[in-house]
Structure 1
Amino acid sequence: MSSSPSSGGWSTVSTDPLLIRGALVDGVRLDCRAADGRIVALAPGLTTDPGDRILEARGGALLPGLQDHHVHVLAAAATRVSLDLAGGPLPTPIEGSDAADAADRGWLRVVGLGDDDVTRADLDAVWPSRPVRAQHRSGALWVLNSAATAELTEHLTDEERRTGRLWRERGRVAGAAERLTLVAQLAHLGRELAGWGVTGLTDATPDLDAATLEFVRSSVPQRVWSLGAVATDLPRKVVVTDHDDDTWERLRTGVLAARDEGRAVALHAVSRTALALAVAVLGEVGVVPGDRVEHAAVCDDATADRLAELGVVVVTQPSIPARRGRALLEAVDPEDRPWLWRMGGLRARGVDVVLSSDAPYGDPNPWTSIALSSGGLPEAGSPWLADETWDARSALGSYLTAPALPAGPERRVGVGAPADLCLLDGPLDEVLARVAGGGTTAPVRATVIGGRLVAQ
């Protein structure tokens, strides 16, 4: 077994041949041989060679490995040792004490905070001793308690020391001790994703540097691409805020900087105002192939028509509204409610829509997103109903496209293609019917990355 570079980073490539017998490839029952990281033969009745590792497909569909086009890998891994408030308020002091005692006395990471106005003092009331950092459910805000503020004081502004509130400054609250913990957590996350057939990840953390990206790539079996500052052929992530006086100029400067690097942009827009700014800047600067909008969480018909006219892809996450449910409706202005987290409605107006997870803020399991996007949510907890759904096969297609072309053609299982494969536990139509009907969100029999069996 050896390691070799790919456009998605360093992926372990198996030099040992793997023979997958009796798989359905585009509906035809075939055998598939992988060697040196690629598919080298695809035909019925392939002869078993000495040294072949045999994987019996038993009539399961063989697909290209699934690609998650928007995920925050480090944050998703860290969530495995976090307290998830699921969009709710802080726990009571007694509940917080119990949560702290359940783990060690080191840093506690709290995610999914639903209260917009929490300060350092509020965290101190719950966790007076151990250092705690709490992340708002939007991902944009961190709040530190006094113990955490004391440990990080030299990195904070006077206002941040006073309130404990930091906007989009994850790098300043992550220390060397967290890095050691993350090695094990990243490995766990990688195994979990492999169990769902995921072989590729597009990390959407805007300030991810080269060293951190290589750390992530060395810690998970998946191939990892980045929308961050590292030179790449993928778009550059630019966050569109709507609470700063200089938003327009900073957004325009960010887009132009990406253009100077020869890159498209991935514009993070979660409010009606942010999306309007994103569309306006792209209209002024001009659109290039690969430009995309992340989330488009509030998108009316007029804006959808403009996105379609510009040819801008929307990368969205149905599991986010599924998680927040009725609380999402109550938190937004009434006039925005018909336009929340749209999928089918955008596609009907000509917008290319791609699914992803945005884990840890959304569910990392792609089959959950496929089920939600094709089956919808219960009316009592849903910001969108059946008119926003689409068929399960089209939803699956989001995960079969290339990282640089999320709305492009699907990758295929064929001779010469990378041996990054997802083997399902039955024929494709049967599996999708079970997923869409709520019968399963774990239909994967085995996952292969670089010709190496990483999950079975």
Structure 2
Amino acid sequence: MPTPPPADLVLTGGTVLTFDARDREADALAVAGGRVVAVGDVADLVGPDTRVVDLRGRTVMPGVNDSHLHGAWLGALWPRTLFGSEGAVEHAEPLITDAEGRRKAILHTGDLLSRLGVTSYTEPGLGPGEDAGPTGCFGSAVLDEYAALAAEGELRARVTVLRLFGELDGPSSLRAFESGLATAPPTADPRWLNVTGVKIFADGIPPMRSAWTHHCYADGTSGHLLVEGEHDPDREANLRAMITLAHRAGHQIGVHATGDRTTEVVVDALAAAIAAHGPAGRHYLIHGDLVPPHVLDRLPALGIGLNTQPGIAVTTAPWLAAALGEDVVRTAWPLRDAFERGVRVCLSSDAPVLDPDWRRGVAAAAQWLDLPASRVLMRRLLRAYTVLPAHQDGAESWKGTLEVGKAADLCVLETNPLDVDPADLPHVGVAMTVVDGRVVFEA
């Protein structure tokens, strides 16, 4: 056998959590050409130019994938968030006004996320529906700036994008949606910028009494769909038509759906589209605040995922109680039920609604689950921030785990997270972040 070429980077003397199908662990890892070339035995791969990092007992895990994060908005707003200690802000506050601002915001987010061990994220909604948007953070020009940065090799994390043909948190029309689908996104290396599909805002959120639900709000209303239409049946028909059009065209569909009535319609429409046109994309529900058990039951067989934000659940539970009552809160954000049913659950931050620290997201998920701390629980929550988002991206064949041949996207933590109570995870430091074999952050 020929002698393999030396590695570019070797990490040794610690724990490597591969998160592969067998959850294997090792004590070393080698990287060359942006890929993992060895896990475990790396001695023969150390050459004169290899950088060897002594982990000194620290732990390597796959890079974090925040599968629902508004990158340009976060970069323009940080350190403020919508609900944060630095002061709440108005959703429609003007933030970006020109190309320089768009570039600065995206790069700012890349720097921030690299310090947190985040190596991939999803921009859930960029496109012409927001070209006249008040913040400047969600229009077509933002997507074009991402493409420019990808071409220049300036992105510090891999980015997945869903296009948006309506308003963010606002109405959309079937005509504009159909016109948008006929346009092509900018081209880019899909390993750095991948436009996988579309986002649809089906309804609002329960605390604002804008989620469409079988329950009644305190004022006697039940919300409605955001899709245009004079009455509920018209809006529902237009939503179903949007889903069918996007599915038939082969796009991934991420639907913002929070009310129980909305999730029923969305999943029924997705099921009908799959039955009529075959499987396509990695469709998923976004948020799913009030998704009922009978809807969860349908998701695994249909291949529909759930992308939810436990930090928002913990933060807004009192607001939901004020809008719909404590009984509704007790069944809201059914994370445990979703896990038990085998639903493909991705955890994310929705930053800058909250801050993008995934460690706090894991702690919030454990708090909401109200289960005893264990390695099994922590592993499941960490996979929901790494392995499962890679599947949502359609990229599980080349990223999301630390296996030979896969992308060298990883982070080094000061302590093994499997040995930490989830409530204490936010105190575990990130020592290093590597993307495509390149060190983008080192404490």
TM-score exceeds 0.5? yes
**Contact kept? 1:206, 1:238, Cα under 8 Å:** no
Cα deviation code 1:274-316 (max 9, x no counterpart): 2122122123323635121111111222222233453421110
CA gap of 1:391–1:269, structure 2 versus 1, over 3 A, is: same
**How far does residue 346 in structure 1 lie from its aligned partner after superposition?**
2.2
1:267 alignment partner AA:
V
Aligned counterpart for 2:247 among listed residues 259, 272, 295:
259
Cα deviation code 1:83-131 (max 9, x no counterpart): x56399xxxxxxxxxx9xxxxxxxxxx965xxxxxxxxxxxxxxxxxxx
Cα deviation code 1:128-178 (max 9, x no counterpart): xxxxxx31xxxxxx4x7xxx8xxxxxxxxxxxxxxxxxxxxxxxx8521xx
More strand by share: 1
1:226-375 equivalences under 5 Å are: 226-228=161-163, 230=185, 234-241=196-203, 242-243=225-226, 244-245=228-229, 246-286=234-274, 288=279, 290-332=282-324, 336-375=328-367
- Distance in 2 (CA, whole Å) between partners of 1:87 and 1:198 is 20
In the alignment, structure 1 residue 32 sits paired with structure 2 residue 13: no
- Distance in 1 (CA, whole Å) between partners of 2:348 and 2:313 is 13
Q: Which residue of 1 aligns with 2:97?
A: 175
- Secondary structure (helix, strand or coil) at the match of 1:286 reads helix
- Secondary structure (helix, strand or coil) at the match of 2:426 reads coil
- Distance in 1 (CA, whole Å) between partners of 2:106 and 2:434 is 18
- Secondary structure (helix, strand or coil) at the match of 2:196 reads coil
CA gap of 1:248–1:35, structure 2 versus 1, over 3 A, is: same
In the alignment, structure 1 residue 17 sits paired with structure 2 residue 8: yes
Runs of 4+ in 1 over 6 A off after TM superposition: 407-410
2:385 alignment partner AA:
Y
- Distance in 1 (CA, whole Å) between partners of 2:25 and 2:96 is 50
Q: Which residue of 2 aligns with 1:392?
A: 378
- Secondary structure (helix, strand or coil) at the match of 2:439 reads strand
CA gap of 1:298–1:251, structure 2 versus 1, over 3 A, is: same
**How far does residue 205 in structure 1 lie from its aligned partner after superposition?**
1.2
Q: Which residue of 2 aligns with 1:380?
A: none
- Distance in 2 (CA, whole Å) between partners of 1:343 and 1:52 is 44
**How far does residue 47 in structure 1 lie from its aligned partner after superposition?**
5.7
Q: Which residue of 2 aligns with 1:69?
A: 67
- Distance in 1 (CA, whole Å) between partners of 2:122 and 2:100 is 23
**Contact kept? 2:7, 2:50, Cα under 8 Å:** yes
Gap regions ≥5 residues in structure 1: 1-14, 89-98, 100-109, 113-133, 136-141, 149-172, 377-383
- Secondary structure (helix, strand or coil) at the match of 1:429 reads helix
- Distance in 2 (CA, whole Å) between partners of 1:16 and 1:346 is 41
CA gap of 1:352–1:451, structure 2 versus 1, over 3 A, is: closer
Q: Which moved more, 1:398-407 or 1:344-353?
A: 398-407
Which structure: larger Rg? 1
Cα deviation code 1:199-234 (max 9, x no counterpart): 111111152644143156465400111122638573
**How far does residue 24 in structure 1 lie from its aligned partner after superposition?**
1.9
- Secondary structure (helix, strand or coil) at the match of 1:281 reads helix
Aligned counterpart for 2:125 among listed residues 205, 224, 231:
205
Q: Which residue of 1 aligns with 2:114?
A: 194
- Secondary structure (helix, strand or coil) at the match of 2:356 reads coil
Gap regions ≥5 residues in structure 2: 1-5, 18-23, 128-138, 165-184, 187-193, 204-224
**Contact kept? 1:31, 1:45, Cα under 8 Å:** no
Aligned counterpart for 2:424 among listed residues 427, 438, 451:
438
Q: Which residue of 2 aligns with 1:418?
A: 407
**Contact kept? 1:319, 1:369, Cα under 8 Å:** yes
CA gap of 1:174–1:260, structure 2 versus 1, over 3 A, is: farther
Q: Which residue of 2 aligns with 1:105?
A: none
- Secondary structure (helix, strand or coil) at the match of 1:227 reads strand
- Distance in 2 (CA, whole Å) between partners of 1:453 and 1:62 is 13
CA gap of 1:454–1:273, structure 2 versus 1, over 3 A, is: same
CA gap of 1:57–1:295, structure 2 versus 1, over 3 A, is: same
1:175 alignment partner AA:
T
- Distance in 2 (CA, whole Å) between partners of 1:429 and 1:203 is 29
- Distance in 2 (CA, whole Å) between partners of 1:76 and 1:416 is 32
**How far does residue 449 in structure 1 lie from its aligned partner after superposition?**
0.8
**Contact kept? 1:315, 1:353, Cα under 8 Å:** yes
Q: How many residues of Structure 1 are paired with residues of Structure 2 in the alignment?
A: 353
TM-score (structure 2 length as normaliser):
0.70
1:225 alignment partner AA:
T
1:35 alignment partner AA:
A
CA gap of 1:271–1:443, structure 2 versus 1, over 3 A, is: same
- Distance in 2 (CA, whole Å) between partners of 1:310 and 1:394 is 22
- Secondary structure (helix, strand or coil) at the match of 1:238 reads strand
**How far does residue 271 in structure 1 lie from its aligned partner after superposition?**
2.0
In the alignment, structure 1 residue 80 sits paired with structure 2 residue 78: yes
**Contact kept? 2:62, 2:400, Cα under 8 Å:** yes
**How far does residue 360 in structure 1 lie from its aligned partner after superposition?**
1.2
Cα deviation code 1:233-292 (max 9, x no counterpart): 734222213144342233223212222331231111022232122122123323635121
2:113 alignment partner AA:
L
2:410 alignment partner AA:
L
**How far does residue 361 in structure 1 lie from its aligned partner after superposition?**
1.6
2:162 alignment partner AA:
L
- Secondary structure (helix, strand or coil) at the match of 1:34 reads strand
- Distance in 2 (CA, whole Å) between partners of 1:250 and 1:340 is 27
**How far does residue 44 in structure 1 lie from its aligned partner after superposition?**
4.4
**Contact kept? 2:7, 2:46, Cα under 8 Å:** no
- Distance in 2 (CA, whole Å) between partners of 1:260 and 1:282 is 11
CA gap of 1:317–1:418, structure 2 versus 1, over 3 A, is: same
- Distance in 2 (CA, whole Å) between partners of 1:424 and 1:440 is 11
- Distance in 2 (CA, whole Å) between partners of 1:312 and 1:28 is 30
**Contact kept? 2:253, 2:284, Cα under 8 Å:** yes
Cα deviation code 1:318-350 (max 9, x no counterpart): 011223342332133566323322211222244
